[in-house]
Amino acid sequence: MEISRNMKKKKRKPKKMIRSKGDTTFTIVNYLFFGLVTLICAYPFYYLIINSISNNELSSLGEIRFLPKQLHLENYKQVLQLDGLPLAAIVSVGRTVIGTACTVLASAFLGFIFTQEKMWRRQFWYRAIIITMYFNAGLIPMFITMKTLHLTNNFWVYILPAIVQPFNIILVKTYIESIPKSLQEAAEMDGANIVQVFFKVVLPNCTPILATVAIFSAVAQWNSFQDTLIYITDQKLYSLQYLLYTYINQANSLAQMVRNAGGSVANVASAATTQTPTSIQMTVSVIVVLPIMFIYPMFQKHFGKGIMLGAVKG
């Protein structure tokens, strides 16, 4: 009898939680508010895309606001034929991939080293790196340093100055401190040295925070154009963002250049696809923004966990 009663108790469905009118109202308002915020954040990207694939004349008049009109892809075909764009894309992809990998590895190793109590003058070196977040020599001394090191007009000027990032080191260090020290102690008892402990024990357990650092670094590298403006005069090393900057400033002349690219009006499909300064700006902006928008979702699942555990010691 007791067994049958216990079975009946197990089969009972859990009671549904009764929500008050206040809870229901709060949930609805909450969803509406964050839905509105999402739309506000997404609309600028949507606006760029619909204007880049719509009638260029209507776009230049500001008549494309919510829905595209007279769809076409001629803008992308013509803009991608602009001089220097493919090479600039290669430079941007290269600096983003190599720079992100170097920054993640350096941040992970330095963050790990600064958790080791046996490190000589650990607090001094840690503070020496952190203080650079607040103080720097300035633009002119930085330029002189880069020129002295022969990094001007050099691809590595995109990579080397950005490898050590104090904020990323803080995140990784705090995250590693939350990992049980018994893992490292067990590895050391088995004969592992400090490098083996880092690569085989610590690094595999730091995926969330490393994904967070990778997002920060990739976005910064992809969006950067000021370093090209300061250190680079060789057109072969121009980044995509720098070309975007110059294209936007020279949209009028570029539109005329694209219209005259074929040497005759017959090469232009119609008035709807005739390039305008607005179409140049919109199309180049989409080309530059889309790659990083596709990369972020790949790391998004680790981002929340990484930034929370890396920012708060507990």
- Look at residue 92 and tell me whether its pLDDT is greater than 70: yes
Q: What residue has token string 């555990």?
A: 309
- Look at residue 74 and tell me whether its pLDDT is greater than 50: yes
More confident position, 77 or 124: 124
For the chain, give the DSSP string: -HHHHHHHHHHSPPPPPPPPHHHHHHHHHHHHHHHHHHHHHHHHHHHHHHHHSS-HHHHHTT--SSS--S---HHHHHHTTSTTHHHHHHHHHHHHHHHHHHHHHHHHHHHHHTT-TTSTTHHHHHHHHHGGGT----HHHHHHHHHHTT-TT-GGGTTGGGS--HHHHHHHHHHHHTS-HHHHHHHHHTT--HHHHIIIIIGGGGHHHHHHHHHHHHHHHHH--HHHHHH---GGG--HHHHHHHHHHTHHHHHHHHHTTTSSGGGS--GGG---HHHHHHHHHHHHHHHHHHHHHHHHHHHHHHHHHHHS--
- Look at residue 265 and tell me whether its pLDDT is greater than 50: no
More confident position, 222 or 55: 222
Those residues whose C-beta lies under 8 Å from the C-beta of residue 5, and which sit 6 or more positions away, are none
Average pLDDT over residues 292-303: 67
More confident position, 252 or 242: 242
Question: Which of 153-162, 186-195, 256-265 has the highest average model confidence (pLDDT)?
Answer: 153-162
- Look at residue 17 and tell me whether its pLDDT is greater than 70: no
Banded pLDDT at 236 (limits 50, 70, 90): confident
Banded pLDDT at 98 (limits 50, 70, 90): very high
- Look at residue 264 and tell me whether its pLDDT is greater than 60: no
Average pLDDT over residues 26-52: 87
Distance, CA of 92 to CA of 221 (rounded, Å)? 8
Compute φ and ψ for 54, nearest 5 degrees: -105, 175
Q: What residue has token string 């390039």?
A: 275
Mean residue pLDDT of the chain comes to 78
Question: Nearest CA to 314 among 184, 205, 179, 161?
Answer: 179
Banded pLDDT at 302 (limits 50, 70, 90): low
Average pLDDT over residues 117-140: 84
More confident position, 306 or 167: 167
| Ramachandran area for residue 193 (φ above 0: left; ψ -120 to 50: alpha; else beta) | beta
- Look at residue 87 and tell me whether its pLDDT is greater than 80: yes
The predicted structure's pLDDT at residue 234: 85
pLDDT per residue as tens digits for the range 163-215: 988 888 888 888 888 888 888 788 888 887 888 888 888 888 888 888 888 88
Residues spanned by CATH 1.10.3720.10 within the chain? 83-249
Banded pLDDT at 36 (limits 50, 70, 90): very high
Lowest mean pLDDT among 45-59, 260-274, 299-313: 260-274
Banded pLDDT at 268 (limits 50, 70, 90): very low
**pLDDT above 70 as % of the chain:** 79
Banded pLDDT at 263 (limits 50, 70, 90): very low
Banded pLDDT at 101 (limits 50, 70, 90): very high
More confident position, 280 or 204: 204
Report residue 85 as tokens: 């764009």
- Look at residue 137 and tell me whether its pLDDT is greater than 60: yes
More confident position, 269 or 105: 105
Q: What Å distances lie between residue 147 and 79, 90, 144, 232, 280, CA to CA? A: 34, 24, 5, 11, 35
Domain range 83-249, CATH architecture: Orthogonal Bundle (1.10)
Banded pLDDT at 102 (limits 50, 70, 90): very high
- Look at residue 109 and tell me whether its pLDDT is greater than 60: yes
